[in-house]
Amino acid sequence: MYVPKHFEENRPNEIIRIIKNFPLATLVSNSSNSLMANHLPLLLNKTSNNKFELVGHIAKANNIYNEVSNNDEVMVIFRSEDAYVSPNWYPSRTKNIEHVPTWNYQAVHLYGNIAFINDKKIILNSLKELTRVFEKKKINKNDWNLSKVSNNFMSSMLTEIVGIKIVITKQVAKSKLSQNRKKEDRINVNKEIKNSGFNFLSNSMNKL
């Protein structure tokens, strides 16, 4: 990923914020046949030795399970909100300063080695954590949760999936948020982005 110095994102808290708020990742892997990209939710965990790892699962029918080996390097991409930025949003245009359209966005690329997990107990614990994170608000006692799935159904589902774990070895992150513009332009771009409903992106600009 091309990352000019002024767009480098090195703040750990901001990188984690992007990953946790936009967990549907793009997993890119390479096999003997071709590059492959898969879209799946992944959770970020901190290991006992203070490393970070991504955990999730895929269907055994997915080509990645058959064409990628344990410990192969993969890349995982997380993307925040993104928004078109019009030259009309720059107040400095009235001072005979020329502008062109651009796009504001945040992206995190993580590299690591993938491991496939077939231990059903570990996979089940991963599923429980996944549903705990995304089923945070229980309004009624009758709301869906993993305990409502019968043992027979769960056992049959577990035979169809495989767990994955990716220990992160490298990261490249980018926050392209008008840092290279004049203050008056940045302020107005932020206002226009917020008015367009991109609250996460606007908050990210406020954190700079």
Closest C-alpha to 111, from 208, 19, 20, 27: 27
- If you search the block for the tokens 């982005």, which residue do you land on? 193
pLDDT digits (tens, 9 = 90+) for 72-131: 999 999 999 999 999 999 999 888 888 999 999 999 999 999 999 999 999 999 998 998
d(CA 186, CA 180): 9
Phi, psi of 198 (to 5 degrees): -95, 75
Q: What is the pLDDT of residue 146?
A: 83
Strand order in the sheet with 24-30: 35-41, 24-30, 73-85, 102-117, 161-176, 52-59, 43-46
Amino acid identity, position 2: Y
Q: How far apart, in whole angstroms, are the C-alpha atoms of residue 18 and residue 10?
A: 12
| pLDDT tens-digit series, residues 73-87 | 999 999 999 999 999
Q: What is the largest CA-CA distance in the chain?
A: 70
pLDDT digits (tens, 9 = 90+) for 10-61: 999 999 999 999 999 999 999 888 899 999 999 999 887 888 999 999 999 9
* Residue 138 pLDDT class (50, 70, 90 cuts): low
Q: What are phi and psi of 190, to 5 degrees?
A: -60, -45
- Assigned token pair, 203: 């908050």
Q: Any residues with CB less than 8 A from the CB of 81 and at least 6 apart, and which?
A: 22, 105, 106, 198, 200, 201
The set of residues, in sequence order, having a beta carbon less than 8 Å from that of 134 and lying 6+ positions away, is: 41
CATH of the domain at 153: 2.30.110.10
Residue 11 is which amino acid? Answer: R
Residue 152, domain member (yes or no): yes
Q: Which two tokens stand for residue 76?
A: 């995982």
Query: Structure pTM?
Result: 0.92
Cα 15 from Cα 20, distance rounded (Å): 9
| 51, part of any domain | yes
For residue 47, tell me if it sits in a domain. Answer: yes
Asked, for residue 208, whether it belongs to a domain, the answer is no
How far from each other are the two terminal CA atoms of the chain, in whole angstroms?
21
Residue 98 lies in a domain: yes
Token pair of 47, please? 């290991």
Structural domain tally of the chain?
1
Domain boundaries, position 122: 5-203
User: Does some domain include residue 63?
Assistant: yes
